[in-house]
Amino acid sequence: MSDVSQTSTRRSPIAVLFTDHPATVNETFLQHMKFALGFSFWLGVASMAALVHAFIPALCETTASRILKRHHARIMARH
């Protein structure tokens, strides 16, 4: 018997790096990039709000938690 009849199941390194994961949430690479960049931006805003709040507790009292709750809900809606 020959091994010629077996098909290769190796994935392209490009697919593994750029398209396999976005496909798990029914997105293209660019859709996933847009979501991840937006998420990253708002996490940065939440981080800065928490930093301001650490030094001046009267400022940004609920900003970080509101941002995190909103993004948690967005993530849960995707799965």
- The ranges assigned to domains in the chain are 43-79
Asked if residues 77 and 60 have their Cβ atoms less than 8 Å apart, the reply is no
For the cut 50, the answer to whether the pLDDT of residue 5 exceeds it is: no
Out of 2-16, 40-54, 59-73, which region has the weakest mean confidence (pLDDT)? 2-16
What's the mean per-residue pLDDT of the chain? 88
Nearest to residue 48, comparing CAs of 37, 33, 59, 34?
Answer: 59
CA distance 6 to 1: 11
Mean pLDDT of 22-28: 90
